[in-house]
Amino acid sequence: MTTELAPTGARAGPRVRRATGEAFDAWGIATIAVAALVAMPVVVVPLLALFPSESIWAHLASTVLPGYVTTTVELMLGVACGTLAMGVGAAWLVTMCRFPGRRIFEWALLLPLAVPAYVIAYVYTDLLEYAGPVQGALRAAFGWRSAADYHFPEIRSLEGAVLMLSLVLYPYVYMLARAAFLEQSVNILDAARSLGCGPWGAFLRVSLPMARPGIVVGLSLAMMETLNDYGTVSFFAVRTLTAGLYDVWLNMGNLGGAAQIATVMLAFVAVLVVLERGSRRRRRHYQGGDRMARLPGYRLRGWRCWLAVFLCTFPFVAGFLVPALVLANHAVAELPGGWTPQFRGYALNSLGLSAAAAVAAVCASLLVSYRRRLRPNAWLTLATRVAGLGYAVPGAVLAIGVLVPLAAFDNALDALAREWLGMSTGLLLSGTVVALLLAYVVRFLAVSMGAVEASLARVTPSMDMASRTLGHGPGATFRRVHLPLVRGGVLTAALVVFVDSMKELPATLILRPFDFDTLATHVYQFASDEQIERASLGALLIVLAGLAPVIVLSRTIAATRALEEHAGTVQAPAPAVIESVRA
């Protein structure tokens, strides 16, 4: 293969120019096929929008649409503030500072990720509404007789939804911010300190800007989850675009009209993505593999120490401990009757499917992003971007997007078989776990792609060049240089896809095979009926199943650094490379 390394410092990284006629090697085709497969369901949604059963825009625009848009924007801004404050703040504290309980907070702060948003909403409504124990205790304590005697904030409100979603979504920001802080070179922080920055200065002027790609990925995941959330907003009667979409689909019987709203939401996200990428393109940071020295570890004392403890305790207690205790309390009563072989079957379904989805999503992400690193290809980039939007599409709509191409494929194959073989093959993929897997991968590809790309982007191109100069091919370079370096990012990706798949509900309901239940569908059938007690055992198990990988992950992220602290010589001792390349 004729290769030619791009000049050092060029902004596109180690581009290997292809010789003519080599455009479609086997790997290239495989990569493009994967990208196309996952992009397809997202493409189907705007296609559906072309065929509304009646034009709904005039009605929507003159009545509810402005309200939907305003509410959606308010909700997203609120959740953005909440997740950033909790996620970045906590990540900086546990990574760079020393205070009591830090080592526990490191992993405990990830735990709310395992709590589905609809479950936390049910739990807090149970606790905080008029008849709940909190208001009941207040009434008993102060002798109030009815709702007219006092003011208590309404949990079922926009503010309530912001709080609920922030509590379960901040771990995205926390996780990626922490990974980014951990990967930061001490030399840079030392340089900042020696040039006169205090801890705050180092944080605001050096660490934060360098961690921005990771933080932005985490934030955009949280935003997309917020955008597609239906469980919480419908329970709290907060009227967002998603709520409007379901209304047009189910009450007005207009799937095309619903797909039009979904397309507006996609456009919404596409604009965000483009803006984010545009701002990032001008500043690209590379770091070397020099993570040998210990991070600074500012020791906090006095009120600072207590403030840090409080800031880390609140998200963990409110986002995880309280819901888990409430569920555990109910689950104890449910346990004798609920722990059946059938229930264990649901748990196995959830575990198996989620693990498979995690592996598939991570493999697809690695394949596509490494390919793009080697040979940037406009089509591949486009397909990946499109597939990534799947995360912002409400699950039920995405399910239709998966259903349409799969059923079309099955029916086409069946028609061929009938014609040529005189027999019917029926539906091979639709209505099987394959459909579910595809749905999960499409839905959560943005998560794994974001984490994998962010880590890969931080590996300096000079590493590729060195490895290639020393005679390794792209495959060996990937195995021996990139994979070890991005291990943390890959694990993060796998974990989040796993936990997200455990919680996934609307697409699972629509696409699943006959008599097939997961923990999420099992929980939902009771929770949606406000029978939180009967849902508690399943909900608790979803939360617990999320715990193990969270703990493992947190240790691995930390260990990545610890190992390197001891075995730093294994890696190329390149000096820290920070390249701010202007486009």
Partner 1 sequence: MSQSPVRRLAGALLLGVLAVPVSAAEVNVYSYRQPHLIQPILDEFSKETGIEVNVVHAKEGLVERLRHEGRNSPADLMLTVDIGRLVELVEADLVAPVQTPTLTADVPPQYRDPEGKWYGLTTRARVIITSKERVAEGAIQTYEDLADPRWKGKICTRSGKHDYMVGLFASMIAHHGEADARTWLEGVKSNLARRPQGNDRAQARAIKEGACDVAVINTYYIGNMLEDPEQKGWAEAVRVVYPNQADRGAHVNISGMALTKSAPNRDTAIRLMEFLTGDRAQQMYAERNVEYPVKPGVALAPLLASWGELKSDELALTEVARYRSAASKLVDIVGYDD
Name the one residue in this structure whose structure tokens are 């459909």.
435
CA–CA separation, 446 and 451 (whole Å): 8
By CB under 8 A, name the one of 42, 49, 452, 511 that touches partner 1: 511
Closest CB 350 distance from partner 1, rounded Å: 17
Interaction of residue 159 with partner 1, rule CB under 8 A:
no
Instruction: For residue 298, give the 3-state DSSP assignment.
Output: strand
CB of 313 or CB of 411, closer to partner 1: 411
Interaction of residue 153 with partner 1, rule CB under 8 A:
no
Q: Which of residues 479-508 bind partner 1 (CB under 8 A)?
A: 506
Closest CB 44 distance from partner 1, rounded Å: 10
Cα-flanking dihedrals φ and ψ of residue 217, to 5°? Answer: -60, -50
Within 178-306, strands assigned E span 298-299
Sequence letter at residue 21: G
Closest CB 446 distance from partner 1, rounded Å: 22
Q: Which of residues 219-248 bind partner 1 (CB under 8 A)?
A: 234, 236-237, 239, 243, 246-247
The contact pattern for partner 1, residues 407-436, with x = CB under 8 A and - = no contact, is xx-xx--x--x-xxxxxxxxxx-xx-----
Cα-flanking dihedrals φ and ψ of residue 299, to 5°? Answer: -85, 125
CA–CA separation, 38 and 30 (whole Å): 13
CA–CA separation, 535 and 551 (whole Å): 25
CB of 179 or CB of 439, closer to partner 1: 439
Closest CB 279 distance from partner 1, rounded Å: 36
Closest CB 453 distance from partner 1, rounded Å: 32
CA–CA separation, 519 and 114 (whole Å): 13
By CB under 8 A, name the one of 252, 270, 367, 544 that touches partner 1: 252
CB of 3 or CB of 135, closer to partner 1: 135
Sequence letter at residue 351: L
Two tokens at 438? 């595809």
Please answer whether residues 526 and 346 qualify as being in contact, where contact means their C-beta atoms are separated by less than 8 angstroms: no
Interaction of residue 340 with partner 1, rule CB under 8 A:
no
Task: List, in order, residues 6 or more apart from 534 with CB less than 8 Å away.
Answer: 334, 338, 526
Name the one residue in this structure whose structure tokens are 């349409």.
404
Interaction of residue 471 with partner 1, rule CB under 8 A:
no
By CB under 8 A, name the one of 212, 371, 482, 512 that touches partner 1: 512
Closest CB 129 distance from partner 1, rounded Å: 9
Interaction of residue 550 with partner 1, rule CB under 8 A:
no
Closest CB 329 distance from partner 1, rounded Å: 13
Contact segment (CB under 8 A) with partner 1 among 79-87, 494-502, 529-537, 555-563 equals 529-537
Distances in Å between the Cα of 156 and the Cα atoms of 127, 152, 153, 160, 322 are: 12, 12, 9, 6, 18
Closest CB 36 distance from partner 1, rounded Å: 20
By CB under 8 A, name the one of 8, 55, 63, 70 that touches partner 1: 63
Cα-flanking dihedrals φ and ψ of residue 459, to 5°? Answer: -80, 120
By CB under 8 A, name the one of 159, 533, 565, 579 that touches partner 1: 533
Task: List, in order, residues 6 or more apart from 323 with CB less than 8 Å away.
Answer: 115, 119, 120, 123, 124, 543
Contact segment (CB under 8 A) with partner 1 among 54-62, 221-229, 290-298, 372-380 equals 54-62
Interaction of residue 59 with partner 1, rule CB under 8 A:
yes
Sequence letter at residue 284: R
Angle at 217 between CA 213 and CA 223, to 5 degrees: 140
CA–CA separation, 251 and 245 (whole Å): 10
The contact pattern for partner 1, residues 377-406, with x = CB under 8 A and - = no contact, is -------------------x--xx--xx--
Contact segment (CB under 8 A) with partner 1 among 29-37, 52-60, 264-272, 370-378 equals 52-60
Q: How many residues sit in the footprint of partner 1 (CB under 8 A)? A: 65
Two tokens at 487? 């291990």
Interaction of residue 346 with partner 1, rule CB under 8 A:
no
The alpha carbon of 319 is separated from its chain's Cα centroid by a whole number of angstroms, namely 17
Angle at 170 between CA 486 and CA 111, to 5 degrees: 80
Closest CB 468 distance from partner 1, rounded Å: 44
Angle at 76 between CA 71 and CA 77, to 5 degrees: 100
Sign of the Cα torsion 274, 278, 279, 281 reads positive
The contact pattern for partner 1, residues 433-462, with x = CB under 8 A and - = no contact, is ------------------------------
CB of 65 or CB of 577, closer to partner 1: 65
DSSP secondary-structure letter at 184?
S
Closest CB 430 distance from partner 1, rounded Å: 6
Interaction of residue 515 with partner 1, rule CB under 8 A:
yes
Burial of residue 163 (number of CB atoms within 10 Å: 0-12, 13-18, 19+): buried
CB of 310 or CB of 514, closer to partner 1: 514
CB of 129 or CB of 565, closer to partner 1: 129
Interaction of residue 253 with partner 1, rule CB under 8 A:
yes
CB of 251 or CB of 340, closer to partner 1: 251
Q: Among residues 507, 39, 49, which one has the least CA distance to residue 262?
A: 49
The contact pattern for partner 1, residues 28-47, with x = CB under 8 A and - = no contact, is --------------------
Task: List, in order, residues 6 or more apart from 506 with CB less than 8 Å away.
Answer: 230, 394, 395, 396, 399
Distances in Å between the Cα of 492 and the Cα atoms of 121, 127, 285, 361, 393 are: 26, 33, 21, 12, 22
Closest CB 61 distance from partner 1, rounded Å: 11
The contact pattern for partner 1, residues 112-151, with x = CB under 8 A and - = no contact, is ------------------xx--------------xx----
The total of other beta-carbon atoms located within 10 Å of residue 170's CB is 31
Q: Which residues bind partner 1 (CB under 8 A)?
A: 54, 59-60, 63-64, 67, 130-131, 146-147, 156, 234, 236-237, 239, 243, 246-247, 249-255, 396, 399-400, 403-404, 407-408, 410-411, 414, 417, 419-428, 430-431, 506, 509-516, 521, 525-526, 528-531, 533
